[in-house]
Chains A and B, each alone.
Chain A
Amino acid sequence: MSRFKSFAGKGLSLAVMAVFMLAVIAGCSGAGGSTAAKTDTTSANGQSSKTTEPAAEGKTEAADGGTFTYARPAAVTSFDLHNEITANNAFAIDKVFEPLVSFDKDGKIVDWLAKSHEVSADGLTYTFVLRDGLKFSDGKDVTAKDAVFSLNRHLKVGGPLEISAKIGSVTAKDDHTLVVKLEQPYTPFLSEMSNFSNGILPDNFGGKTEEEFFKKPIGTGPFVVENWDPTGDVTFVKNEHYWQEGKPHINKLVYKLVQDDSQALNQLKAGEVDGIESLALQNAQELKNGDGTAVLTNGSWVTEQLFFNTLDEHFADKHVRRALALALDRDGLTKALTFGYAQTANSLLPTTIPYNSNDSIKPLNFNVEEAKKELAQSKFPTGFSSTLLVASGNDTRAQEAQIIQAAAKTIGIDLKIESVELAAFRERFFAYDFSAMLNSGQADSPEANSIIAFQTDPDGFSKSYWTHYTNDQVTKLLREGQTTPDGEGRQKIYGELLQILADDVPYIPLYYPDIIKGVRSSVEGLTVLPNGSLRFEDAHIAQ
């Protein structure tokens, strides 16, 4: 017994203490390590677009094959392209279905399944000519009839990303030519055609029922669904009939469901996944400097904003909104919160969207004295108390709210922060049950009308993004912008419209956040798109 006592006593207690100490030490220290070689490159249009170079040792070699495992916070629940909108499904659907035209990493519209497209001078007829030798993933030829079926189904379903143009007819002129006739000119149409929801599927679902088809979808995209658990992972294999010869380079793409962001981050650091979709700004620097990890970024189509409910007794007053805009140091806020992964916003439109007028517009810049004068002109010259609604679970937004709260206090406005869970947050603002809120506006395609219509159209279902803001001049310019052909005329219209918004301040555009993705340094050729999706066609994993 005494031997047992001494052995068990000393040995075990030492072991327990050692494990405990190690755990504490490990937990308290950050991730150090050497820095992998990385360079920042600038994309063609001058947008900040940083890509990773392979590890510096020179031993790495890009080879075809292999599996890319991508950790994502939400599962893919449906492949029905006409009924989906949220990122969890959209960024899986776009791997299987492809539209006639698409956009590149700079948001420029490019021909995709169509080898060319033509818009008639009156803006009413769009003609798309399909690429030669296009095949679906089952080896069958793609014809204009498939495109007709796809667009007609989208028109019939409507769905969350419905086609806004008034379509007169969709016809197949011959096997390779699709003609779409509009009832009235609608300039954003081409850009809207680049949405994943306008992807091409086989005529009549290839003879299957809708349900069967979307369980094992067939498209022209670079990948084919091999295994799909609607509450878990998706495994894609490369499409052997893909029209871009020799691509994709990887054999398999796995969308691994990892709901917890810090778990995903740790899996990336340990090399268990090759990339992570959701990366908090505060962790980006750690990955950038980390051993074997890197950060990929691109400009986004998102504008982070402070929204005002213009039905609210205080924020109905334009002077109050203007005073808050003047009291807020947007530049300081952006620098403090985004670690260099964002650009301060002047206009509603991010700089990645054409006609953004970010350089020419004159916003209400930080000036506390002017802010006080502006508030003095309002119905509440000495200030008031109100609330700022924020969805919980987003650290950056929580800090944003605090900065705004402090800025408001400098002019006598007492903002109480109300942090509620996402589902409750949506319920509240959908019912206009808020005074001010933090949220972001996002374009679905590289088109000015996308964000502007959603945030200014008083007849739209969102009632100017639930601000209830109405300005007849803005509505007139919005309609003009939709029918005016691309060019200087359209530029002028949006310049004027955005200036009115900057003066009326139904919302304060704060900053344009970059898209940031965490990857292993061994990953090459991955393209980060401005909508937040990734293109894997050129991706390699260095051996």
Chain B
Amino acid sequence: MTQTLRKARREAGFPSSWRWVGTALLRALLVILCVTTAVFFLIRIVPGDPAKMILGEYATDESITALRHTLGLDLSLWEQFVRFVRILFTQGDTGNSIVSGVSVRQLIGDRAPVTLLLIAMAAVLAVCISLILAVLAATHKDKLLDHLIRIFPAITLGMPVFWVGLLLILLFGVRLHWFPVGGVREGWTGMLYSLTLPAITVAFSQIPTLVRSLRAQMLEVLESDFVVTLKAAAIPRHAILFKHVLRNSALPTLMLLGVNLSYMIGGTLVVEQVFGIKGIGSLLFTSISSRDFPVIQGIALYCAVAVVVIGLLVEIFAWWLDPRTKEKR
């Protein structure tokens, strides 16, 4: 009887997982298409002509017209869109930068490693620091340390990321010379060294929400029946804490981190500017000021892909970790 039921469930579940994967992929594709189309039209609605930004205020009408023609900006919006979609599907690219003439894929490819490393470092830092603070807060519930840790997110959430970055630069870069003020040095160690302050800055913006979530989850688990049973069985407290409580409260926090990773892609853009890091953020910043349409579109496209992929991975991760989510599907 039981075996028949299991078999029936498996049979019903197999196609449903594929359906889920199919729906998720379709949804992802739709999001990416919507984002790229919206960005294509939005940047063209905003006032500002790339030709005028390239040639400056002293350029003659003739030279502006000639450049607009070369760049294909004299075509109708619809023709430009068709051209954009054609390049996207035939070359898998959004074209060449209007300002530098370099392929957008190459531009993004050159700058992506530094941005990805920054996000990774920031994520690791955020998780480590949040973990320590949350464990301390949860184990010292309603004591001074808990209050201090709970006040900390309240203060830091109100601090703009660029301001935190500037403070770190002034203290550890300009004053103490412990870290470079900005830029990225060569080699792996150079990169890690120069990305330390920026990573702390990005992590700083993530820690408050992670600490809050993890602390709340840990408190919930600490008060659950199985912990009471474990305590009664005289299992050492640290074993309960790290083996059972932390493991059980980690899932929602990891899900939150996944969502936050998407925000971090946006957050690093500001931090890169403050620290003079030549990553995707600073590229986007320059491209917007100079109305470099293909680059803006390219970054929007790849960021949308990254956010969607992270979202998918988080869902798959949660599905794999927690049987309850699996059943829901």
Contact = CB atoms under 8 A, between A and B. Distances in A.
Interface of A: 1, 4-5, 8-9, 12-13, 16-17, 22-24, 26-27, 31, 74-75, 77, 85-86, 158-162, 230-232, 256-260, 262-264, 266-267, 269-270, 272, 420-424, 426-428, 430, 439, 444, 454, 461-462
A9 B59 contact: no
B170 A27 contact: yes
Contacts of B177: 270
B63 A160 contact: yes
Given A1-B236, A24-B167, A259 B47 contact: no
Interface string B224-250: 000000000000111001000000000
A424 B140 contact: no
B169 interface: yes
A423 B291 CA distance: 8
Contact of B63 (A74, A158, A267): A158
Contacts of B54: 77, 86
A256 B274 CA distance: 15
The listed residue with most A CB atoms (<10 A of its CB), out of B170, B275, B291, is B170
B46 A424 contact: yes
A5 B101 CA distance: 59
Contact of B182 (A75, A159, A267, A420): A267
B49 A427 contact: yes
Contacts of A258: 182-183, 276
A267 B194 CA distance: 13
19 contacts: A1-B236, A5-B139, A13-B149, A26-B170, A26-B175, A77-B99, A161-B58, A260-B274, A262-B166, A263-B182, A263-B275, A266-B169, A272-B180, A272-B182, A423-B52, A424-B47, A424-B48, A426-B53, A439-B57
B206 to A, nearest CB: 16
Contacts, number: 157
Contacts of A427: 47-49, 52
A476 to B, nearest CB: 23
Contacts of A264: 276
B47 A423 contact: yes
Given A5-B140, A86-B55, 13 more contacts: A1-B139, A13-B145, A22-B171, A26-B167, A230-B100, A231-B100, A231-B102, A232-B278, A259-B276, A260-B276, A266-B170, A424-B48, A426-B57
A26 B55 CA distance: 42
A264 B149 CA distance: 35
Give the interface size bracket for B toward A. 35 or more
A258 B275 CA distance: 9
A257 B291 contact: no
A8 B174 contact: no
A12 B131 CA distance: 12
Contacts of A27: 163, 166-167, 170-171
Given A1-B237, A421-B48, A426-B53, A266 B102 contact: no
Nearest to A29: B170
B63 to A, nearest CB: 6
Which 3 pairs of residues, A with B, have the shortest CB-CB distance? A423-B48, A230-B100, A26-B171
A117 to B, nearest CB: 26
B152 interface: yes
Nearest to B180: A272
A231 B286 contact: yes
Nearest to B155: A20
A12 B181 contact: no
Given A259-B276, A272-B181, A160 B58 contact: yes
